[in-house]
Structure 1
């Protein structure tokens, strides 16, 4: 497919090998779901978090981010819509953060670049620091609800193994809340008031966008080969064609065909003839040529010898 030669044979192979109607996502296997649709990602991360909690028989904490409205107060309907709107590329703070010790999370904003706490990589969420202003309310034997964000969350990853901060467990880094503005924009026609949301700029990493998995190799992955937009057809939301770059990133990030699961049936329009535009191919080729020419020129320079 990367050679732009995908045909019906590829569609049949993916359908036969990777898709099974009615099959549930096996979260307990450590699978990662890649989806271009944010709303699907939000729902899948809730499902993944609840499955992780059940698998590890751990306590669940649900934190509702703080919201402050500009001007007059919103209607109940608008407030509920804002609370159901998660994170995206312009809104790093989700409306609700569900925490289970040991769960994987991804940071949505470059926070401490010198400490490698940046947008993209996976981290393990070890513990949370509760804000006394938002005490917990037990809603079941293993679930606690907080009507506000936590004061911080302890994260760990390979990039943090050498860290040692006073008062913190070795190999961890602390992520604290920040504020993010949700302004009235066309893609949220129901929003009538600007609102500031305060909470942690991170979310569960059971489901990610194709952007967040670029450069990674995943042994077990569920791919949603769909576009980033939906069209209403007879009252049903139909996803647009899968972007050719997204198609390449998703399929190339899988270590083997056997490790791929397709939650949705393969569509011919997402595979056959779904190629990168010719002008983009030409632009990429030009950039490669310029890069090679720059390297060759630099290699021809008379560089001074390093000091002994």
Structure 2
């Protein structure tokens, strides 16, 4: 545990560095109204904080910057809520007050507003085509060991998947299973498909015990949501305005990351159903974002998590502002979805 004085000094250094992006010296900290310690006292405490791993000293400066450990301590113990600007709150409320029935339009507007207010990159994993229902499935044989399964929704969305047919499984048997699924699942919302299959069709499907494991795999392939259709981003080039990312290689790695659908999904995966999560630097387990932080939260309807919205920025992120924004956005967006879908 840090002493109260060390906590105040660490908080001051993080706050100063977030605003100015320059190493923070002891004189700068001592002049703050909320500190009240001499520059010499602050300097000694800064040396101790560096030794404990909370601060780092760039070679070219006498000042200190927060380490990733320092940021983690800050967000866990020192960061208070931020009062958002009235203009930002009005912008959010106007978005959800407008009667936009098109979910995709609402999502795109939401990520756009979030990136505009924060000046970071915003990402949303949207609902799995929440407002679409299954119209029918169709299987088209390509050859003995390969087929294409086509999923059509009531809104005309078409998704197709290639499936491999193993030895001992006939295409006629697969067609029989697809006909069964059509009979039971037509009109079911896409996000409920897999749950409905395993809850309501388990007994019928388990009669085909010799192929049941393969059948599960096929159903998973057929009914998996199209990830690309779920990912919405805004402000992907905002990172270029941050002084930490003048290194071309760092920026190149990040830009390439946004082109990899699975990787973007991974960034926001394992999100808890409630609350805001903060992952700092190497906690993200992806080299491209080792110098970034990701703050994310889920939005829900009737207790069910439907998607995740997140903000990606430098570790020198304004955490207080981003957390407060996400708390407001996820609450209002969840309420908006409840009004539309009940």
TM bucket (normalised to shorter chain) is under 0.3
State the TM-score, normalizing by the size of structure 1. Answer: 0.25
**Bigger Cα Rg:** 2
Structure ranking higher on relative contact order (CA contacts 8 Å, 6+ apart): 1
More helix by share: 2
TM-score by length of 2: 0.23
